Amino acid sequence: MEFNDIKSTISLAYDRFFQNADSRTADWFLMPSPFPQGTIILAYILFVTLVGPRLMENRKAFDLKNILIVYNFAVVGLSVYICYEFVMSGWGTGYSFRCDLVDFSDSPQAVRMAATCWLYYFSKFIEMLDTIFFVLRKKYSQVTFLHVFHHSIMPFTWWFGVRFSAGGLGTFHALLNSVVHVIMYTYYGLTAMGPNYQKYLWWKKHLTTIQLIQFVMVTTHICQYFFLSDCPYQFPIFVYIIGSYGMIFLFLFLNFYYHAYTKGKRLPKVLQAQTWAHHTNGIMSSAANGHSNGHTNGLIGHHKEA
């Protein structure tokens, strides 16, 4: 097969791929093609894993206290707004929490839902700053594979969500994730403000439980699709993606909870501290949504998304 034939085949496949795309989001920022976001994601991965650490190798860690305070509470405000928009565009104004289809019409509410999906998608790029701050502060133990994978895969998969399926039952996990982000980034912000605010963080111990509840709810909601007798949801592939993602992180959190709170409680205090440190600095510290961008907090830090 000649080069021109290969090029024509790829071009034809690409055009067919977009035949079922949502025309409403076609011209929105980053939406015309997946390649611009791919460039951003690749640049992010290269910076936090290779370029950034090399640049910081002979430099003193940056003191980003004030920046972290502003950043965390800004994300809180954005997450509150996203929650409100998800509720007003469907989840509090007509969705059944069962087989909710995507409304591709140009009605104000349908377009509002699509815009909210795009805003949630775009917020995933903002949250990449979590990892960048880790690198600039030389907190390399937090830059784990799962942490970077999470921050890379969320915007990547959500591009397809906004471009093809901006609404319906596939957005429930985004609403829940935004609610959790309000709580998590409030914690990060207060933590970044210093020891004087520790008295306001008495609820720290409940954060892992909140994350567990999130993933149970996400998995339960999306998996009901398989038990509904008639649910013509337009893009079932997203059901499989969301369900897989929810179950993976539910398993990771349950494993962490067992080692940190169940198994760990039976250990002497010194060994408990070692067990906790192991999880806060190891792979599990990244499984959460976010990322403990103020201080090290184990799975409490995530960001994070499902």
Kindly calculate the radius of gyration of the chain based on its CA atoms and give it in whole angstroms.
Answer: 21
Contacts of 86 (CB under 8 A, 6+ apart): 113, 116, 120, 171, 174, 175, 178
- CA-based angle 300:257:278, to the nearest 5? 70
Residues carrying an active site annotation:
150
- 226-234: long-range contacts (C-beta < 8 A, 24 or more apart)? 228/98, 228/99, 230/99, 231/98, 231/99, 232/99, 232/101, 233/99, 233/101, 233/102, 233/168, 233/169, 233/170, 234/101, 234/102, 234/165, 234/168
Q: How far is the C-alpha of 74 from the C-alpha of 140, rounded, in Å?
A: 24
Q: How far is the C-alpha of 304 from the C-alpha of 161, rounded, in Å?
A: 18
Which has the closest alpha carbon to 180: 54, 88, 304? Answer: 304
- CA-based angle 112:115:117, to the nearest 5? 110
Q: How far is the C-alpha of 291 from the C-alpha of 296, rounded, in Å?
A: 8
Give the start-end residues of each E strand in 129-188. Answer: none
- CA-based angle 153:15:33, to the nearest 5? 40
CB distance 188 to 288 below 8 Å:
no
Q: How far is the C-alpha of 170 from the C-alpha of 158, rounded, in Å?
A: 10
Q: How far is the C-alpha of 150 from the C-alpha of 125, rounded, in Å?
A: 12
